[in-house]
Structure 1
Amino acid sequence: MNAAKPTLTLGPVLYLWEGEKWRDFYFRIADEAPVDDVVIGETVCSKRLHFTDPCFPPVIERLEAAGKRIVFSTLALVTLERESQYVRSLVADSPYPVEANDLSALALLEGEPHWIGPLVNVYNATTARLLARRGATSICLPPELPASSIAEIVSATPGIAFELLAFGRMPLAISARCAHARAKGHIKDNCQFVCKEDPDGLPVKTLDRQSFLAVNGVQTVSFTCQALLAELKDLLACGVHRFRLSPQDCDMVAVARLYDDVLQGRLDPEEGISLLRQIYPAAPLSNGFHHGQEGAAWVARARNIGHGAST
């Protein structure tokens, strides 16, 4: 059992928010949210840096003043030379730890302490140990892993911090093409930044008009929102002590406080689930992957670690 203090990480904003909204979001996180680590930077589409680049200096200054540890995220898909240069410059020049979200960043980071984001497929302990030998100090495991696989990976990989996506729509895929632009009658090269019209993603419906996915620019995410609250106690017992909150278009300070209250024993998980549905009513909650079921499922009562289906 890992007796380390449980902590909360705020993942990067995956959606396109206007610069002022993005800046003010992080200002409030700095001032009010009980999170220890904050991952910032563009992960999904390099074109979005146009909106956020001017806001980085004041956001970094505010987060540092609040005592938050800052981590910079790399792009999840590099397709252009300017994007390759951006990642190389980020790795070379960042005074903060860098989180790799695709394999091309790993070669640049080898030998330097760095983080591994949830978009890198770490599905077994052999992979985790390899990444640790190359310099990874923290690994956020993919959200599709069941509890049994999580427990096995953590127990077989001592000396590294493991993190799980505890709140947020789950990242599922990323493409060189932009389905978001196409859905609104544009092409990727002339997208007109239509994804900013959907600050929480654009729902994708089946022929029966049921929402089952959401598109976010070139990224596909789940329509449901992963919510691991009743599972936190068992995850702590198996050695996971860091929990990631992925920003959605809701009161993320309230979300962070709720998770902190459950972790500290001030709030019952079942009551926390009820409150979470009020804070973020835009999407149904899910925890199916964790319990070895389809990802969109909701398992009302958490099972013990090790009872999920193995991969």
Structure 2
Amino acid sequence: MKLSLGPVLFYWDRNKTHDFYASMAEQPLDVIYLGETVCSKRRDMMLDDWLGLARDIARVSSAQLVLSGLTLVEAASELSSLRRLCDNGELLVEANDMGAVQLMSERKLPFVGGPALNLYNGHALAELVASGMQRWVPPVEASGQLIGHTLRQLDSLEVARPEVEIFAYGHLPLAYSARCFTARAENRPKDDCQFCCQNYPEGIPLLSQENAPLFTINGIQTMSASVSNLLADYPELVNAGADLLRLSPRAEGMEQVIAAFDAVRKGGLPPLAVDGCNGYWHGQAGMLRAEEAGLC
């Protein structure tokens, strides 16, 4: 089993971003994703900066480096930036929008199908494999049963399986909007947000009327309140056909998270339970833990 580090979903300044990846380059990771996937206004790091960072990481790490594109493309300027990303000429691209799939297919270049592409069956998967998708990251709400069924359906179509990369740790990216919720929380217009996302390195917790954690607000992105953690489900991840496990960056403690997953993939016993949620994996409400759903 390989371990991947997903793209940073939060907005960190340039120095924090460089410091984070400098520490990650020394970790036992097989794939490292770079790039901005949430908001085009986050411009501390531009394409040339990401490519330069990738070259720096490559000097000290053997991990495969991948450039991730935006998930919600709304403007001509964003489409132009996406074209430049797809034409980068150095790194594999993660397509998080069907526009990126089209651009990569036109160029006859391989790509990673990101979790926002909403692929839920073998027929849709086959179409993207034919377009050049060599790795599939299932939607974060997909259960182990759904993923297994989709792959068996793909096999029945006699289409070669792409690599399967499952989102195994981190705040789950659930939805995207044209509105910026972080700017709204600070009573700012989206067009004059003052980049206030940088004030919240792990987003803004959103509570229910009963003061229970419900979501995490991250700019235009709505995320899970709890961190999803599938470490205790490692045997089922293997049985479902996972080739890679994606660990989504957090502001603190990523070294410990990577070490825990690395120990289990090297033969250590997975824990009986972990902090965080894993309901989606078991076909239940995502915010639940398996033991709460009566599955343990």
- The TM-score, its normalising length taken from structure 2, stands at 0.92
Change (3 A) 1:92 1:61: closer
- Match of residue 3 from structure 1: none
- C-alpha contact (below 8 Å) 2:47/2:85 kept by paired residues: no
- Match of residue 120 from structure 1: 117
- C-alpha contact (below 8 Å) 2:144/2:240 kept by paired residues: no
**Which ranges in structure 2 are unaligned for 5 or more consecutive residues?**
155-159
Residue 41 (1) aligns with residue 35 (2) = yes
Residue 116 of structure 1 and its aligned partner are, at CA, apart by 0.6
- The TM-score, its normalising length taken from structure 1, stands at 0.88
Residue 50 of structure 1 and its aligned partner are, at CA, apart by 2.8
- Match of residue 30 from structure 1: 25
Question: Paired residue for 1:152, among 137, 149, 154?
Answer: 149
- 2:67 alignment partner, SS class: strand
Give deviations 1:189-248, integer Å, cap 9, x for gaps.
Answer: 000011111111111111111120011011111111111112211221232121100111
**d(CA) in 1 for partners of 2:51, 2:139:** 30
**d(CA) in 1 for partners of 2:222, 2:198:** 15
Residue 159 of structure 1 and its aligned partner are, at CA, apart by 2.8
- C-alpha contact (below 8 Å) 1:23/1:55 kept by paired residues: no
Equivalent residue runs for 1:218-297 within 5 Å? 218-266=220-268, 268-270=269-271, 277=275, 285-297=276-288
- C-alpha contact (below 8 Å) 1:230/1:302 kept by paired residues: no
Equivalent residue runs for 1:1-311 within 5 Å? 6-31=1-26, 33-51=27-45, 55-65=49-59, 66-110=61-105, 111-157=108-154, 158-266=160-268, 268-270=269-271, 277=275, 285-300=276-291
**d(CA) in 2 for partners of 1:236, 1:101:** 25
- C-alpha contact (below 8 Å) 1:291/1:303 kept by paired residues: no
- 2:217 alignment partner, SS class: strand
Query: Which is worse superposed, 227-236 or 180-189?
Result: 227-236
Residue 303 of structure 1 and its aligned partner are, at CA, apart by 9.7
Change (3 A) 1:216 1:94: farther
**d(CA) in 2 for partners of 1:77, 1:206:** 27
Residue 52 of structure 1 and its aligned partner are, at CA, apart by 5.8
- C-alpha contact (below 8 Å) 1:27/1:59 kept by paired residues: no
- 1:16 alignment partner, SS class: coil
Residue 16 of structure 1 and its aligned partner are, at CA, apart by 0.4
- C-alpha contact (below 8 Å) 1:205/1:212 kept by paired residues: yes
